A = this chain, B = another copy of it.
């Protein structure tokens, strides 16, 4: 298995990324290899500082870098030899099994759509956030930012692709799918939420448990939380902020530690023909290390193949 990581993406790249990879390298299962994509000399310099020499990490040179603020589509067409451009080229050729980056999120999203493309039948691929639950399990919430405005049909499909992702990646036999809403009753919510409910309810391929509310985000009510990328992003970022708030106040707690973005490190793009994971721009070495751990599980599950099969 080849897990490719964009060495140049993120606020602290390449150092934080390469150091995260070195942390991951020592813990990686024997069937996995990491492919670092980026400026080879910069990467090897950090290897050298750490006296790192191992065949577990391969380096693929990419001359250019897409910066955080660049326009995704423009940057991708003008910089085919950027680390993101090269990553998606390798992913499309199946030379790697997953491509991960803490770089320009828009470029990652557009890059996936242009290279490996959306799975046939998918209305809109989504970025799914892992949401730690109080019982130690993990739920996914989608979308958390790729699609700020969603039609009911799109939200309903998030329920189905999220369910398949959770089933195969987390080995949950019958994931509980819920719609994030402002009340438990079917007729509650925005016009879009009201129109989404019957779609989810009618879909016999998922186990729809109805609406959940903001207070249920962490309370193991659902395995798959359906929401648009506007509400989802705001909720997800509030959830992640708990760790900073409590840390500043001297509180240490195992559950709250898990809400720290570092403890998961990455968010998959679901609905495309391959494995893609994006990470926070601020990613630290620990975050990158943990993302690689999840990337390994995502490749083992290859949920995208099951999604393609279900929609065929």
Residues of A within 8 A of B (CB): 134, 145, 148-149, 180-182, 189-191, 193, 213-219, 228-231, 233-242, 244-246, 248-249, 251, 253, 255
- Which B residues are in CB contact (< 8 Å) with A134? 245, 248
* Number of identical protomers: 2
Complex Cα distance A304/B148, Å? 34
Q: Knowing that A182-B229, A230-B231 are A-B contacts, what are 6 other residue pairs whose CB atoms are under 8 Å apart, sorted by A's residue number? A: A182-B234, A214-B237, A219-B245, A235-B238, A238-B238, A249-B255
Instruction: Report whether A249 and B253 are in contact in the complex, using a CB–CB cutoff of 8 Å.
Output: yes
Instruction: Report whether A236 and B255 are in contact in the complex, using a CB–CB cutoff of 8 Å.
Output: no
15 A-B residue pairings within 8 Å (CB atoms):
A145-B182, A148-B182, A148-B189, A148-B193, A180-B234, A214-B235, A214-B236, A214-B239, A215-B240, A217-B241, A235-B238, A238-B239, A245-B255, A249-B255, A251-B253
- Which B residues are in CB contact (< 8 Å) with A233? 182, 213-214
Nearest neighbor of A144 in chain B, beta-carbon distance: B182
Which of A182, A193, A234, A240 has the most chain B CB atoms closer than 10 A to its own CB?
Answer: A234
Instruction: Report whether B149 and A230 are in contact in the complex, using a CB–CB cutoff of 8 Å.
Output: no
Complex Cα distance A228/B193, Å? 14
- Write the nearest CB–CB distance from A91 to chain B, whole angstroms: 26
Instruction: Report whether A238 and B214 are in contact in the complex, using a CB–CB cutoff of 8 Å.
Output: yes
Complex Cα distance A294/B251, Å? 30
Nearest neighbor of A147 in chain B, beta-carbon distance: B190
- Write the nearest CB–CB distance from A219 to chain B, whole angstroms: 8
Instruction: Report whether A230 and B182 are in contact in the complex, using a CB–CB cutoff of 8 Å.
Output: yes
Complex Cα distance A251/B234, Å? 25
Complex Cα distance A116/B239, Å? 39
- Which B residues are in CB contact (< 8 Å) with A244? 215
Complex Cα distance A191/B150, Å? 11
